[in-house]
Amino acid sequence: MAGKVFFSVSMSLDGFIVPESMEWLVATPEQRAQDPRLERSMAQWMQLQAWAFPQRFFRENLKLGEGGEEGRDNDIARETFERTGASVMGKRMFDVGEPAWPEEAPFHTPVFVVTHEKRDPWERPGGTTFHFVNDGIQTALDQAREAAGDRDVRVAGGGATILEYVNAGLIDEFSIALSPVLFGSGIRLFEGVDAGRVALEPVRAEPTQRVTHLTYAVRER
């Protein structure tokens, strides 16, 4: 039986999944100190992901160190990983991750990057191979489904790519970790959504001490 197509992201309470800039990731401490926009964006990203960083699973998978919390947030992070047989992502998410992920990239399954750039597959130790797909989101999804077998396909991000899949009616379900932070600007998850087409059905709402996990099934209107 084919699995579901889903996405799972952390979102600020005012609807953003990316702050104004992600340049802080490659900036030096001096550059950040001179540019309040970089400092602010870094602080916002840390607050957005504050629920995930302390979790044992997240720390193990991103090679951030031993130990960590083992409550419901940790279970949800692990369950999201375990249900995923393959991922699809946009090129900008890949570009942000390429210098930041550990050598053993945290997917451990095939990843299909939708892009205009032609590039040979990039195989990492630990089971992640990035395949670069140049003929659109449907082809990337077909390849991901094939690779995932019975497991689910995760549209990992970022905002532009998730929106393409939502508007094409290709998402079955999504989860949002709603973080207690306001961004004011950045990339909004649902900016440009074809709202007349998408109907949502609540599946689950789970508050923890750090964040609120919301899951919806997507139906056609």
Ligand X SMILES: NC(=O)c1ccc[n+]([C@@H]2O[C@H](COP(=O)([O-])OP(=O)(O)OC[C@H]3O[C@@H](n4cnc5c(N)ncnc54)[C@H](OP(=O)(O)O)[C@@H]3O)[C@@H](O)[C@H]2O)c1
Interface with ligand X by CB under 6 A: which residues?
Answer: 9-10, 17-18, 22, 90-93, 96, 114-117, 136-137, 156-161, 164, 187
Q: Which of 191, 185, 182, 133 is nearest to 162 (CA)?
A: 191
When the beta carbons of 109 and 161 are compared against ligand X, the nearer one is 161
In DSSP notation, 44-91 reads HHHHHTTTTTTBHHHHHHTT--S--B-SHHHHHHHHHHHHEEEEEEEH
The DSSP H or E segment spanning 178 is: strand 173-179
When the beta carbons of 14 and 117 are compared against ligand X, the nearer one is 117
Min dist CB 114 to ligand X, Å, is 4
Q: Specify the residue for token string 């970022």.
A: 158
When the beta carbons of 67 and 180 are compared against ligand X, the nearer one is 180
What backbone torsions phi and psi does residue 202 show, to the nearest 5 degrees? -65, 135
Min dist CB 158 to ligand X, Å, is 2
Min dist CB 9 to ligand X, Å, is 3
When the beta carbons of 116 and 221 are compared against ligand X, the nearer one is 116
Q: Specify the residue for token string 């992901």.
A: 49
Min dist CB 1 to ligand X, Å, is 27
